[in-house]
Structure 1
C-alpha cells in the first residue's frame, strides 16, 4: 500500500513481514525482501542499488557450504548468536552481535558461513550492486555496540570516498561499499524517536525481527513513521522523497526496536 507521510512530500510503500518470500528449511529459517533463490517476484527484485536483504536464522552446527560470488557487495549484520566465516582470501572469523562484515566480491570469491557454538545465529544478509565491475575482492569488518546505537542513528556502511570511511580491513567508522548506499542502524527505546534526514531520493527501512521467528502478522516492536505510517518487526518500508526530507522513526511499542535505514540512489 502507499501512504503519504503527514506534513511531508515523502511517499511510503509498506511491505508487511508476512508477505516476504522465504521458507523454513529446518536448518535455515529465512525471509527474503527481494527475489532470491527459489522465491521470484518481479514486483520485488531490487530497490536502487539494494538487491538482497535476507533475514536468516541458522541452526547450530549447520550453515551455508562453500559457494561462489562475484560482482556484488555482500555484508552481514549480526543480531544474535555467532557466525563463522571462511573465504578464499584467507579470512577466517567468528562474528558476534554488533559485528558488521562486508565482502566486496568483485572478480570472484568463495566463502562459507556456519553457525558457531551451540546457539542459533540470527543475521541479515545484504547485497548491493557495485558501481564498478571487475574490482579486486576485499574483506572488511566493523563493530558497533548496542550503546552506540541506543536512540540514535549510527552510520555503519557508506560509499568509498565518503567522509570518515577508510578501506582498512578493521577500523572505526562505517564499512566501505562500492555502491551508492549508506546504511544506518539504531535501537530505539519505547516512547523514543530518531530523525533521519535523506541524503538521497530513496530510503529503505527494515525493522529487525528480534522477538523471534514469526511467519504470520508481525508482532514485537512497533514503529510509527512521521506520525502516520505504522509498521512492526519484519516489516519494510520503501520511501521516495527529496534530499533533506526528514523521517521521524518513533517507537510506539513497549520493547526496544532495532531498525536499519538505507539511503539509496
Structure 2
C-alpha cells in the first residue's frame, strides 16, 4: 500500500500581523515574517489568510513571475489591474492572475463589511509568460462533502484557457487546488496521482479560520487527516498540514467537529 506522511503546521506558529485595517496569517515566509523552515513547498510559495476591513485594502502594486489566485470566503473584494480588469469578487469566487512579465493590481473591500479571503501564490513552470486573468465561481452546494477542483494546470483535461468558464482556473505549472465544505461526520478522500518526477508527490491542506479571527492556538471546528496506513492528524481552524506521499496514496479528511469545515487541498508536483 502506498505510504503517506502528514506533518501539521499549527495556526499559532504561522506568521501573524495585525495592521488594524488588515489582519493576516502567513503560512510561508512573507513580508516581515522570515522562516527558512517554511519558505515554500514545491511550487507553492504563499498562502495568506487575510481579513481586510471595510473601505480599505491593498493599493496599486506590481507583481511578476507568479501565478496569484484569490479565494473569497466572505465579504466582497474589488480587483483592478493594469490589464483593464475590474471585478467585484464575492463568496465562492476564485480569481487567478498569471502575472508573467508583470502587472499592477489593487485589491480593496467592496461594501460595508470585512472581507475574508485566501491569497495563494505559485511559481509557474515557464518564465516571461504574457499576463493573463481568469475568474471562476463555485457554489457552496458544489463543494458540499465533495472535493471541487478550483485550480488546475492548463494542460489538464477539462481546463479551459478562457477568462470566464466552467471548471477550474488554469495555471502554468504543476499544482492543483481543491476545495470542500465538509459536513459534520462526513469524509472526503483524494488520491495522489503519479508524479512526473522521481521524488514523492507533495500535498498541503489548510483548514480555513471561518468561525472568527484567532491569534492563539487553533479552535473552532475540527477535522482529522489520515492516510490509509498512518496515524490520524487532528486539525482545527487555521491549522494546516504538509503531506508527502507515494503515487497512489490516498489522503482522507473527516469532519469530527460540530460545524461545517471549509478545507483547501493542494497537490503539488
TM bin (shorter chain): over 0.9
Bigger mean CA offset, 199-208 vs 246-255:
199-208
Give the TM-score, by structure 2 length: 0.95
1:227-253 CA-partner distances (Å, limit 9, x unpaired) = 611111110100101111101100000
Number of equivalenced pairs: 259
Matching residue of 1:105: 99
Equivalent position of 1:4 in the other structure = none
Q: Could you tell me which residue of structure 2 aligns to residue 142 of structure 1?
A: 136
Q: 2:42 matched to which residue of 1?
A: 48
Q: Is the partner of 1:220 in helix, strand or coil? A: strand
Q: Counterpart of 2:12 in 1: which secondary structure?
A: helix
**Could you say which residue in structure 2 is the equivalent of 1:57?**
51
Equivalent residue number for residue 192 of structure 1: 186
For residue 230 of structure 1, the aligned residue among 234, 248, 252 is: 234
In 2, Cα distance between the equivalents of 1:8 and 1:19? 30
Equivalents in 1 of 2:86, 2:40: separation in Å? 30
Is 2:162 the counterpart of 1:168?
yes
Query: Is this contact kept in 1: 2:143–2:180, CA < 8 A?
Result: yes
The SS at the match of 2:220 is coil
SS state at 2:142 partner: helix
Choose from 235, 240, 261 the match for 2:244: 240
Q: Deviations over 1:64-98 (max 9, x none)?
A: 00000000000000000000000000000000000
Aligned-pair RMSD on alpha carbons?
Answer: 1.0
Confirm whether residue 151 of structure 1 aligns to residue 145 of structure 2. Answer: yes
Gaps of 5+ in 2: 196-200
Distance 1:238 1:96 in 2: 28
Q: Which moved more, 1:60-69 or 1:222-231?
A: 222-231
SS at match of 2:223: strand
Deviation at 1:22, TM superposition (A): 2.0
CA shift, 1:158, in A, is 0.3
- Aligned-partner Cα distance in 2 for 1:158–1:15: 24
Which residues of structure 1 form unaligned runs of 5+? 1-6
Out of 237, 258, 265, the position equivalent to 2:262 is 258
Give the conservation status (yes or no) of the 8 Å contact 2:2–2:248.
no
Query: Which of 123, 126, 129 is 2:123 aligned to?
Result: 129
Contact 2:2/2:247 (8 A) holds in 1: no
Task: Give the Cα–Cα distance (whole angstroms) in 2 for the partners of residues 189 and 258 of structure 1.
Answer: 9
Measured in 2, the distance between the counterparts of 1:232 and 1:8 equals 27
Paired with 2:247 and 2:80, the residues of 1 have a C-alpha distance of 39
The yes-or-no answer on 1:94 pairing with 2:98 is no
Secondary structure in structure 2 of the residue aligned to 1:119? coil
Per the alignment, residue 198 of structure 2 pairs with: none
Cα deviation per residue 1:111-147 (whole Å; 9 max; x = unaligned)? 0000100000000000000000000000000000000
TM-score norm. by structure 1 comes to: 0.96
Distance 1:8 1:223, change over 3 A: farther
Mapped pair 1:38 → 2:32? yes
Between the aligned partners of 2:204 and 2:181, the Cα distance in structure 1 is 16
